[in-house]
A and B are shown apart, each in its own frame.
Chain A
């Protein structure tokens, strides 16, 4: 149904803003696999946005090349290019004078879809992002909450089923609870649609939670490390990456390890129970809260102690040796 993602290749991309001495992005090379969700994280002003916007040519690179699905984007008409790249910005940017339906229909209209096809697509997308079309389609943006607006922003970017999505801190302006909810919905959605997504954030937690791979960026968009969340947490490439991860790396890593990956002790029916498909972090959480010695994994397969959890974490620190 939905178009699967395609690969993106940036090689030796540099951006020097007019009138500036130093490049905002310098010699940036990165290859993104089809269907992959890559997170750009880094401190404010390091060039995340600039790097991302060169892909849809909102910002023109000074040098280097960018290809999408093997096609050089610099050789394409920028407007045509952008109609096939979903784009979500931090301020959401819903057009206040258009209804929600009209907002979502923007790109299909530019592409000359029939009215019927457009309407069907709008309904389908609203349902996809958990908004009832009967209630929301004819409202205006100001009549929606911040979280609802964010969802519409995502729906609008998905409208023409683009193989590639660029998202610049799309959940940045929401409160922590809404944000977690949006993230969870977004992960579920991505599992269905499998787009190639570049997602900018400066929240490392968010990067760990969502990303297939994370590019930790330093000054001038220098890639300090580009790897899976688990690998970055287990083996930060340098001090810069470690300091960026900050405290709580262990907890973040535990959140990435499902209980099913760990060797269990014998079941203990008297211990508090944790779901079999939760993470080690949930198990630890339960241990701390209840003060129990062990937690029982429901389904009766076994149980976990503090020591087991620590061992699993240490094993994950050296994944290469362990495998």
Chain B
């Protein structure tokens, strides 16, 4: 029925590695931006009722928007390729990151904050050296959830010429009926799955080593 998979892989493994790295790069870049933005938004809203509800509601609504719709809306403005991809991945990452930043900061026991203030720490110092480190494990979990989300969405972004493994999946579709259709779609999909699992594993390590030993259970 189709060209054999090992021949296919032997011919294209370099290509595949490149696409995998691109996929990883676009996810990493988007997560980095989303983390900075999301934590910042979280810091601004976490202790104020109205802004907090507004931010979480907005992010909650935003995340339900189908990714193809968002990519399509962005492409006339941002063109094709990396720009609409990164913007939409950041967009979808914000909800888990903002939400977990807010939850993490709210879970810091009030008496610890009072202790810090009682010792003469300024509010900013208290935030940076007490509240954020204590909220960090929860924030990392948020980033991890965002990572899982974005690896999948990045695959769709290939439709607007975004970077990464989605290219192979769509090549499979466009060569429907040809010998290599299944090979393209299958390798593309499996590499995305593997990448997602790998990134998830990496986050277990990141969470472990970026969290104080005193907080680990």
Which residue numbers of A lie inside 8 Å of B, CB to CB?
A: 56, 58, 78-85, 87, 89-91, 93-99, 106-107, 110, 140-142, 156, 166
User: Do B120 and A91 have beta carbons less than 8 Å apart?
Assistant: no
Cβ of A266 to closest chain B Cβ, rounded Å: 57
Within 8 A of A (CB), among B97-124: 109, 111-112, 114-122
Select B119's contact among A83, A90, A141, beta carbons within 8 Å: A83
Verify B133–A82 contact, CB threshold 8 A.
Answer: no
| Residue interface bits B165-180, CB-to-A below 8 A is 1, else 0 | 0000000000000000
Evaluate whether A89 and B119 lie within 8 angstroms (CB atoms) in the complex, with A96-B215, A99-B214 already known: no
The answer to whether A89 and B111 have CB atoms under 8 Å apart is yes
How many angstroms between the C-alpha atoms of A79 and B214 in the bound complex? 27
A93 and B134 contact, Cβ closer than 8 Å, known pairs A79-B120, A107-B119, A141-B214: no
With CB as the reference atom, state the residue of chain A lying closest to B109: A91
CB-contact partner of A97 in B119, B122, B212, under 8 A: B212
With a CB–CB cut-off of 8 A, which chain B residues contact A98? 212, 214
What is the interface of chain B, defined by CB distance below 8 A to chain A?
109, 111-112, 114-122, 125, 130, 133-134, 211-215
Interchain CA distance A81-B111 in the complex, whole Å: 19
Q: Within 8 Å CB of B109, what residues of A?
A: 91
Contacts of B134 in A (CB 8 A): 95-97
User: Contacts of B121 on A, CB cut-off 8 Å?
Assistant: 79, 106, 110
Taking the closest CB of chain A, its distance from the CB of B76, in whole angstroms, is: 47
One of B114, B211, B212, B214 near A93 (C-beta < 8 A): B114
19 contacts between A and B (CB under 8 A): A58-B114, A58-B117, A79-B121, A82-B117, A82-B118, A83-B119, A84-B120, A89-B115, A93-B114, A95-B112, A95-B134, A96-B212, A96-B214, A97-B211, A98-B212, A110-B119, A140-B213, A141-B214, A142-B214
**B114 cross-chain contacts in A, Cβ below 8 A:** 58, 89, 93
On whether the beta carbons of A87 and B118 are closer than 8 Å, the reply is yes
Interface contacts beyond A89-B118, A93-B115: sample of 15 additional A-B pairs, CB < 8 Å, sorted by A:
A56-B118, A79-B122, A83-B120, A85-B118, A87-B115, A89-B111, A89-B115, A93-B111, A94-B115, A95-B116, A95-B134, A96-B112, A97-B134, A99-B214, A142-B214
Contacts of A156 in B (CB 8 A): 119
- By a CB distance below 8 angstroms, the chain A residues around B120 are 78-84, 107, 110
Known: A89-B114, A93-B112, A95-B112. Is A82-B215 also a contact (CB below 8 A)?
Answer: no
| Bound: A140/B215 CA distance, A | 9
Nearest-neighbor residue (CB-CB) of A97 within chain B: B212
- Whether B214 and A91, one on each chain, are in contact in the complex, defined by CB atoms closer than 8 angstroms, is no
- Tell whether A97 pairs with B214 under 8 Å between CB atoms, given A89-B111, A91-B109, A91-B111: yes
Q: How far is the CB of B132 from chain A (nearest CB, A)?
A: 10
Q: Give, as a whole number of angstroms, the nearest-CB distance from A103 to chain B.
A: 10
List, in ascending order, chain B residues with CB within 8 A of A82's CB.
Answer: 117-120
Residues of B contacting A84 in the complex (Cβ-Cβ under 8 angstroms): 120
- Chain A's closest residue to B110 (CB) is A91
Q: Does the CB pair B118–A140 fall under 8 Å?
A: no
Set of chain A residues within 8 Å of B212, measured between Cβ atoms: 96-98, 140
